[in-house]
Amino acid sequence: MTGQIASIWRHPIKSLGREALARVALEPGQGLPWDRAWAVAHEASKADGSAWAPCQNFTRVAQSPKLMAVTAVFDDAAGTITLSHPDRPDLTARPETEGARIVDWLAPLVAEGRAAPARLVRAETRAMTDSDFPSVTLCNLSSHRAVEDRIGQKLSIHRWRGNLWLDGLAPWEEFDWIGRELRVGTARLRVVERTDRCRATTANPETGESDADTLGALDHWGHRDFSVRAEVLEPGEIALGDGAARI
């Protein structure tokens, strides 16, 4: 079955904000441009951005749900990022030179008892995604609706922090793509693995409060996976409304 791109999202700083895109160019061996280009290492972490590191090295929503309510706008030309949150004044800063301002801004949003944010690190070789390979996350709106139906309430898609959202597919059809290639817009991707989920998805992206048992809902299907991770094989541009089909 052929799906259609309903929305495109990038997350410039890992676990800290999101922004919508109308189109984007993909390159082999890379994630979405400027997606997870930075991450906030906490005081117990030795990560410095020179190599990929597991998510446990960074300040993230799973431990501090208030971070889920952050939104972000990255100005590629100016090199600035604007962060917003219901409980914080907006901040515009340059990640390359003003990392300390960003760390100070998010510190009040970190849960009590959790390791304090220490420094903003730049991903020098590849994006700070949760996968150990450069990935683009593909999400299925029909699977999202199935989770909503199971829980009995509407849910924001931002709980899943995906890159490409596809419509027009059957629920959980994306799991059948593992090991297969897709044509998305003019790019070619290979689906590598499912995305395992943690309690970060229980947090409401509007309020930053944990208010939905997403993991319990996924247990109904015998797993705690949502979406799939893919690698880019051939370059190409993707845009809203483009098709996504198995090759």
Stretch 124-130: mean pLDDT: 90
pLDDT at 125: 85
Stretch 164-190: mean pLDDT: 97
Residue 126 has pLDDT above 90, yes or no: no
Stretch 181-206: mean pLDDT: 97
Q: Give the tokens for residue 120.
A: 């903003």
pLDDT at 229: 98
- Average pLDDT of the chain is 96
Kindly report the backbone phi and psi dihedral angles of residue 193, in degrees, each rounded to the nearest multiple of 5, phi listed first: -160, 165
pTM for the predicted model, two decimal places: 0.95
Residue 242's contacts (CB-CB under 8 Å, 6 or more residues apart) are: 4, 5, 184, 185
pLDDT at 91: 98
Instruction: Quickly state the pLDDT bin for 1 (edges 50, 70, 90).
Output: low
Residue 157 has pLDDT above 90, yes or no: yes
pLDDT at 2: 84
pLDDT at 175: 98
Residue with tokens 């590598």: 192
Q: Let me know: does 13 contact 81? Beta carbons within 8 Å.
A: yes
Domain ranges of the chain: 3-31+131-246, 38-122
DSSP string, 168-204: S--TTGGGGGTT-EEEETTEEEEEEEEEE--GGGGB-
pLDDT tens digits for range 48-76: 999 999 999 999 999 999 999 999 999 99
CATH class of the domain defined by 3-31+131-246: mainly beta
